[in-house]
Structure 1
Amino acid sequence: MADASVIGFLYQYKWHILAATLVAYVASTCVYRRFFHPLAKVPGPFLPAVTKLYQSYYNGRYYLEVEKLHQQYGPIVRITPDEVHLTDPANYEKINYVGTKYSKPPNYYNALCVPNSTFGTPPNDIHRIRRGALNPMFSRQKVLELEGIVQQKARKVCARMQAGVDKNEPVDLHHAFRAVSVDVISDFAFGECYNFLDKDDIGANFFAMARGIGPALWAFQQFPSLQSLALKTPPWMAPYLSTPLGYVTGMQMECVRQIEGVKANIEQGKSLGRQTIFTTLLDEENKPDAYQIPTTWQLKDEAYSVLVAAADTTGNAMTVAAFNVLNNPEIYQKLVAELEGAFPNPNAALPFVELEKLPYLTGVIKEGLRLSFGVIGRLPRVVPSPGATFNDHFLPAGTVVSMSSWMMHRDTSVFGPEPMKFEPARWTGPIEKVRRLDANMVPFGRGTRQCVGMPLAYAELYVTLGTLFRRFPRGLKVWNTTEETMRDYEDFFSSYHPHSRKDEWFRACMEKSGQRGAPEYG
């Protein structure tokens, strides 16, 4: 009888009991994470210590909140239940060095939907194998061999600029610079250039897809099981369920198409007369012993990774650099004077190896990289065994620790009281001073996990910007873009200017009173 009463009571109040159990579980979890967790003594507020929902609430603006937390709590702050963020530049070298034992946290990087790519590989041993197979196509030697591809894209940017000058219309450099990067990398990767610089929209639809992937990052990081379910959605259905999910699956299918095209060319004996990234990855010769030829579905992650990286980081650095040059007549004049002195013939091709010797142009490019930030938020890593001490706080093995270019590139102790000021001359001082600035520059990361595409990115930056400003030595100006909009970013791993209207993108035009006789460049 007693047993029946108990069962009856449990049945009658089952929802109350379930609710009470849930409340007790949440409360006990919060108490543990805040007061008894191994990171409990790391400074920081209550909410990020107990739930990742705090980070998700800020979405693409969390990097700004993290900065505020550092201003309140100091150089080490707990920003999620299992992650600590640091600001002391000396800590960057402790984490990111060649041969580092700090790996990538799977939960964070898997949310980028490229687990089989070199970039997205969490374990260091597997990363080493994949990186070894990829390195040859991104070496400086290979970039110099294929520099003609970059030169061709730079000429197309100038041709578009000239067409705008002739029609007295502004030119969309925001998308043109991104198109340079994607046209180059698609040629490098597949031997099939996307030719966005030849299209009317300069690839704007593609870039909207690449940008649209971003919001999925935070959702998938917060709910990993949701990602697993979402990525099983048929590609045709995905856009109807979620716009960002549609962009993710759309990009995946585009990458599968490209890989299958490369494989078909290999099987049919078609050759470009040169290696591409994916003919190299599909070639069994000259590979590490542990390397296995990936499947199409695995390789599509590599393609996805290089395309999205090209669409965002290098193009944005060119945008930031060009905007600030045109927005400051003194900088514009100094840059042109240097280019004219080095290259008297305005129509000659400007070799990368000669351009990189120019100190003021180098300053312009470094400021563009510094203030575009690359990955503006954070690059988290997992503390290896047996743990590590940062700023007098011991972090046990398995703790996620991170730093960000947003704070490294704006350190007032290094870059002065106005770190957001675009000042190329800061890079032309004594070598000791420049080295001190370089120590805080991490647009490509550092160490074993440094961006593999850095040599190619520098070639694109020098050749495109050098060529553009040599061809148009006067009269160009910013059109309908403000300094405030160019300093405003959203963090969807890559940094994006949060514009919504077409005319808010960075554009340039020729001043009506300026000289319109820039040399033709077809």
Structure 2
Amino acid sequence: MATITLIPLLGTLLLIYSLHKLWTFFYNAFLHPVAKFPGPPYVWTDWYQCYNDVYLSRNWTDVLKELHEKYGDVVRVGANELHFSRPSVYNEIYSPSRRWDKDATLYRVFNQDESSFGFPTYREAKARKDILAPLFSHRATCEMQGVVKNHLDRLCTALRKRHAAGQSSDMLFALRSFSLDCITTYCFAQDVHASEAEEFRHPIVEAMDAAVPAVRVLQYFEPLRKVVFGMPPWLGKLTDPNTGARVALQEMLLKQVKEYVQNPKSMHETSTPTIYHRLLDPELNRETGGVPSLKSLRDEALSLFFGGAESSGNVSMLGTWHILQTPAIETRLREELRQAWSDLATMPQLEDLEKLPYLTAIIKESLRISPSVPVPLPRVVPPQGTTLSGQQIPGGTVVGMSLRFVHESEEIFHDAKTFDPERWLQPDAAAASLEKWLVAFSKGPRNCIGQNLAMCELYMAFAALFRRFEVVLDGTRAEDLSWTEGFLPFFNPRHMRAFCRPVEA
């Protein structure tokens, strides 16, 4: 009897669900506030990007370029999402005066929603960044540059050993290992000795690399994301070696957090300041209602860890590749470094490296040519709406723009596909006009908090590679540096290999 009664009820529920879906599709297609903007068919289902990302395995930014060629400067790319192509709009969306919230759809995939990176609201993120910012100021970075130098020496020792053994090095993993060692020491007073790992294949480096492709799947399937991040640590370690390394990293950071929370005096035993010296300071956290929760401390640690360990390695690897493609660029860089760094045993201070015009131009061009974070960083237009690209945008609309539309713009960067440090050495006015279009660390109140540390790593890595070594490619071709998008780029597994022969003077 109960079964007979249940069948009509299920049928009714199914009908209601189907009607709701049909109404949603109809509303999104014809009545939604952004329906007036042009876009591809079926974009109103919110599965258009998933189809291209997951099923077709296409880079979303490549799809966006095609859409803008077909539909114009403003394109509807989701049920409630617009993308823009005019470079000027980038500085409008991510302007320091735009205190817009992040759209949580993308950022929740990282399971770091209680961090300066993951907080969706401007208010929460600003409060956290204000606490951490002094640790990442240019002054603080200069004071801590000894940490970076020590890890750079370790990397150079590993490169010399491999050359002495007749072995080339995977430069992507080598440079990421250097960055990983820097961020763990700088932020957590921990040392994982990644640069000493065999073939630079430290488990954490490999786990971080393997995590990038997963982003393009997990962001579309919420139940799967919850299963992955809700998995007990012991099960995560069993399912996949890379997952195990990532879990081990989280456990290491959580153990450190718990130790400092339970015994604050132990923080005084660290060799360098850590993020916890500030996050666990009651006075600094007075306006935020007290020190962060254990989860928030762990989230912050993970966001800084993953944010700081990959990007600068990617940039220095790609920059090195491009330098080696043009002998005139390499020769000029070596000459400048030789003049500024005459005694190989004594590396110049960061402040002195920053004054070298050609090295600085090399770094800027490497940042421009690198994909950095290629995907659009979504922001939510406030309720009153706004004007972008000359059009009124309804409140609540998700808007974004990939930095590739800025860095690859022929209007701004002539012959944008070419690696050309000279573009940054023009007369002051012309060079200054380009500066605002270098957006590798994003712009505005949600820009990268660790950019000063990243720049320190880039100055020292480029200086050391081209002053201490003769770098010779080991069969690497341009196609070996191809990449696909996660949140960060995922490079061809071959990467870039090179022999690093030490120079004598």
Give TM-score scaled by structure 1 length: 0.88
1:93-112 paired onto structure 2 within 5 Å: 93-112=91-110
- Structure 1 vs Structure 2: percent identity of aligned residues? 28
Residue 212 of structure 1 contacts residue 243 of structure 1 at CA under 8 Å; is this kept in 2? no
**CA shift digits 1:41-71 (9 cap, x unpaired):** 1111112232235335424621211111111
- Name 2:432's counterpart in structure 1: 435
- Name 1:425's counterpart in structure 2: 422
Residue 154 of structure 1 contacts residue 468 of structure 1 at CA under 8 Å; is this kept in 2? no
Q: CA, structure 1 residues 481+22, in 2 after alignment: closer, same or farther (shift >3 Å)?
A: farther
2-side partners of 1:198 and 1:243: how far apart? 20
- Name 1:69's counterpart in structure 2: 67
Residue 373 of structure 1 contacts residue 409 of structure 1 at CA under 8 Å; is this kept in 2? no
326-335 vs 266-275, which moves further: 266-275
1:47-446 paired onto structure 2 within 5 Å: 47-59=42-54, 61-238=59-236, 249-263=247-261, 266-268=264-266, 270-272=268-270, 274-416=272-414, 418-446=415-443
384-393 vs 311-320, which moves further: 384-393
Q: CA, structure 1 residues 370+227, in 2 after alignment: closer, same or farther (shift >3 Å)?
A: same
Q: 1:490 aligns with which of 484, 489, 499?
A: 484
Give, as a single letter, the amino acid of the residue that structure 1 aligns with 2:488: S
- Name 2:495's counterpart in structure 1: 505
1-side partners of 2:61 and 2:89: how far apart? 18
**CA shift digits 1:47-103 (9 cap, x unpaired):** 223223533542462121111111111111111111111121221222222242211
2-side partners of 1:244 and 1:85: how far apart? 34
1-side partners of 2:325 and 2:91: how far apart? 35
1-side partners of 2:278 and 2:4: how far apart? 69
Residue 56 of structure 1 contacts residue 219 of structure 1 at CA under 8 Å; is this kept in 2? no
Give TM-score scaled by structure 2 length: 0.91
Q: What is the DSSP-based 3-state SS (H/G/I as helix, E as strand, rest coil) of the residue aligned with 1:414?
A: coil
**CA shift digits 1:256-296 (9 cap, x unpaired):** 13323545674447513542122221222444522521232
Q: CA, structure 1 residues 50+262, in 2 after alignment: closer, same or farther (shift >3 Å)?
A: same
Q: What is the DSSP-based 3-state SS (H/G/I as helix, E as strand, rest coil) of the residue aligned with 1:300?
A: helix
2-side partners of 1:57 and 1:247: how far apart? 30
Instruction: Give the Å deviation of 1:35.
Output: 1.4
Instruction: Give the Å deviation of 1:189.
Output: 1.4
2-side partners of 1:382 and 1:251: how far apart? 33
Give, as a single letter, the amino acid of the residue that structure 2 aligns with 1:323: W
Q: What is the DSSP-based 3-state SS (H/G/I as helix, E as strand, rest coil) of the residue aligned with 2:269?
A: coil
Q: What is the DSSP-based 3-state SS (H/G/I as helix, E as strand, rest coil) of the residue aligned with 2:113?
A: coil
1-side partners of 2:272 and 2:463: how far apart? 27
Instruction: Give the Å deviation of 1:207.
Output: 1.8
Residue 81 of structure 2 contacts residue 398 of structure 2 at CA under 8 Å; is this kept in 1? yes
Instruction: Give the Å deviation of 1:401.
Output: 0.3
- Name 1:519's counterpart in structure 2: 504
**CA shift digits 1:87-135 (9 cap, x unpaired):** 2122122222224221111222112210011111111111111111111
- Name 1:513's counterpart in structure 2: none
Instruction: Give the Å deviation of 1:161.
Output: 2.4
2-side partners of 1:442 and 1:357: how far apart? 21
1-side partners of 2:455 and 2:424: how far apart? 16
- Name 1:480's counterpart in structure 2: 475
Q: CA, structure 1 residues 38+344, in 2 after alignment: closer, same or farther (shift >3 Å)?
A: same
2-side partners of 1:94 and 1:431: how far apart? 24
Instruction: Give the Å deviation of 1:451.
Output: 0.6
249-258 vs 290-299, which moves further: 249-258
Any unmatched runs of 5+ in structure 2? none
1-side partners of 2:235 and 2:118: how far apart? 26
What is the total number of aligned residue pairs between the two structures? 501
2-side partners of 1:270 and 1:320: how far apart? 39
Residue 44 of structure 2 contacts residue 79 of structure 2 at CA under 8 Å; is this kept in 1? yes
- Name 1:463's counterpart in structure 2: 460
Give, as a single letter, the amino acid of the residue that structure 1 aligns with 2:484: E
2-side partners of 1:68 and 1:421: how far apart? 21
- RMSD of aligned C-alpha atoms? 2.7
Instruction: Give the Å deviation of 1:254.
Output: 3.5
- Name 1:447's counterpart in structure 2: 444
Instruction: Give the Å deviation of 1:197.
Output: 1.3
2-side partners of 1:225 and 1:110: how far apart? 12
**CA shift digits 1:390-411 (9 cap, x unpaired):** 2343221111100111221101
Any unmatched runs of 5+ in structure 1? 511-515
245-254 vs 142-151, which moves further: 245-254
Instruction: Give the Å deviation of 1:519.
Output: 3.1
